[in-house]
Amino acid sequence: MAARRSDRFLATLKNCARVTFVTHVHPDPDSLASMMGLAYLIEEKLGLPTRLTRDGPISRAENRAMVELLDIELEPIEDVVWAEDEAVVMVDSQPNTGRHNLAGAPPISAVIDHHDTPGDLAGIGFIDVRETLGATCSVVVTYLREQGLIPSSRLATGLMYGIETELCGYPREAGPADEAALIHIYPLADRDLLARIRNARLPQSYFGGLLQALQNAFIYDRLIISWVDHLPQPEMAAEVVDNLIRFEEVDWALCAGVHGGSLILSLRAAVENAQAGELLHKVVGRLGRAGGHDRRAGGTIPLPSEASSAIENMQAELRRRLLKALHIDECRGQRLVKKREILENLHT
């Protein structure tokens, strides 16, 4: 008899002493809630202790509010002391696709993900990668339902936020399984807590970053690129680009921001079958790492130095490669917001 995926997942882990969850750098709501949900599943069904880890800081205000309000305990990955008899489960990411700091960790036992970008999955005991799903949390909700577990309001709130942040933005990439998971989880979630996470208070640096991103946005035919010299937080690239892709005259939007000695990239497409993840992966090539979904992708390029010439050279190379990949003729970018227009508006 073919076992359900959740049965096979649990069977893979049943002989270990503890389960440690890992995910991509700067964990987002989908990865955080997926770890929470699977930890609950393992604690309930296998009676094993679990640990949730955090690779790099979480700086986006909403994500920080989620961690605080839902009281999510995260161990920084660099502080983890690994044991031989523990199992490592990777969620919302695949081995060797992003920056993972897993030195000294036992081999990965299971991978649960929904990214298009293929990782190195050889030798992993349990793999559930569903590219057609909008969120990893949707897989987790399916497992909990299969195992007859009802999430607490805290967990349901996390799963709800994890799914909605992946699905309810634009461009949407939801399937029927995501919708089913949302409908199931919505009545269980704490809507007041959800509202507090969605409307988290923002630091002053956020507004400066936003202004800089708009002032440095340039249109190249069907593409808009925002070059941000000082990105206050790495997750801000995604926020900027979610906004820019709504510009009615473009099909593609990229934010490339300098943060912590790297160029942080976030790409969006407003067309179907864009294969944005694959495209950015090819464009970045050996300069760094990139991947994602059909209409959303992200990546990182380490900069040789923070000198403005090094930044400019990398920006020029990236622009050249991206224009070529999108079959856009080399052209001078037109400012999205012209300084003259801003001044004129101030005086009217």
Phi-psi region at 87: left, alpha or beta (left = phi > 0; alpha = psi -120 to 50): beta
CA–CA separation, 312 and 170 (whole Å): 30
Q: How far is the CB of 174 from Mn ion (least distance, A)?
A: 12
Q: Which residue(s) pair with 111 in the sheet?
A: 90, 127
Among 6, 13, 26, 30, the residue binding Mn ion under the rule CB under 5 A is 30
- Tell me if 301 sits within 8 A of 284, measured CB to CB: yes
Tell me: cis bond preceding 171? Omega within 30 of 0 counts. yes
**CB-wise, 216 or 266, nearer to Mn ion?**
266
- Site residues (CB under 5 A) for Mn ion, limited to 148-207: none
Residue 93 φ/ψ, nearest 5 degrees: -170, 165
**Location of structure tokens 């839902």:** 70
**CB-wise, 136 or 216, nearer to Mn ion?**
136
Binding region for Mn ion (CB under 5 A) out of 121-129, 134-142, 281-289, 301-309: 134-142
How many residues make contact with Mn ion (CB under 5 A)?
3
CA–CA separation, 138 and 162 (whole Å): 9
Q: How far is the CB of 166 from Mn ion (least distance, A)?
A: 5
CA–CA separation, 255 and 225 (whole Å): 6
- Site residues (CB under 5 A) for Mn ion, limited to 54-113: 92
Quote the DSSP letter at residue 332.
P
Binding region for Mn ion (CB under 5 A) out of 36-44, 65-73, 128-136, 272-280: 128-136
Per-residue 3-state assignment (H helix, E strand, C coil) for 286-328:
HHCEEEECCCEEEEEEECCCCCHHHHHHHHHHHHHHHHHHCCC
Binding region for Mn ion (CB under 5 A) out of 25-33, 49-57, 169-177, 256-264: 25-33
**CB-wise, 165 or 212, nearer to Mn ion?**
165
Helix spans in the chain (H): 5-13, 29-46, 61-69, 136-146, 153-167, 176-185, 191-198, 204-215, 236-244, 276-284, 308-325, 339-346
Q: Which of 198, 208, 252 is nearest to 229 (CA)?
A: 208
Q: How far is the CB of 23 from Mn ion (least distance, A)?
A: 9
Residues counted in the chain: 348
Does residue number 294 form part of the binding site for Mn ion (CB under 5 A)? no
- Site residues (CB under 5 A) for Mn ion, limited to 33-52: none
Q: How far is the CB of 258 from Mn ion (least distance, A)?
A: 25
**CB-wise, 28 or 86, nearer to Mn ion?**
28
**CB-wise, 32 or 108, nearer to Mn ion?**
32
**CB-wise, 167 or 213, nearer to Mn ion?**
167
Q: How far is the CB of 282 from Mn ion (least distance, A)?
A: 21
- Structure tokens, 338: 């012209």
Q: How far is the CB of 337 from Mn ion (least distance, A)?
A: 31
Quote the DSSP letter at residue 79.
G
Binding region for Mn ion (CB under 5 A) out of 5-13, 132-140, 196-204, 243-251: 132-140
**CB-wise, 62 or 92, nearer to Mn ion?**
92
**Residue with the CB atom nearest Mn ion in the bound state:** 30
Q: How far is the CB of 93 from Mn ion (least distance, A)?
A: 8
Residue 89 φ/ψ, nearest 5 degrees: -115, 125
**CB-wise, 92 or 128, nearer to Mn ion?**
92
**CB-wise, 30 or 55, nearer to Mn ion?**
30
Tell the burial category of 111 from Cβ atoms under 10 Å away from its Cβ (0-12, 13-18, 19+): buried
Q: How far is the CB of 297 from Mn ion (least distance, A)?
A: 12
Q: How far is the CB of 272 from Mn ion (least distance, A)?
A: 20
Residues that bind Mn ion (CB under 5 A): 30, 92, 136
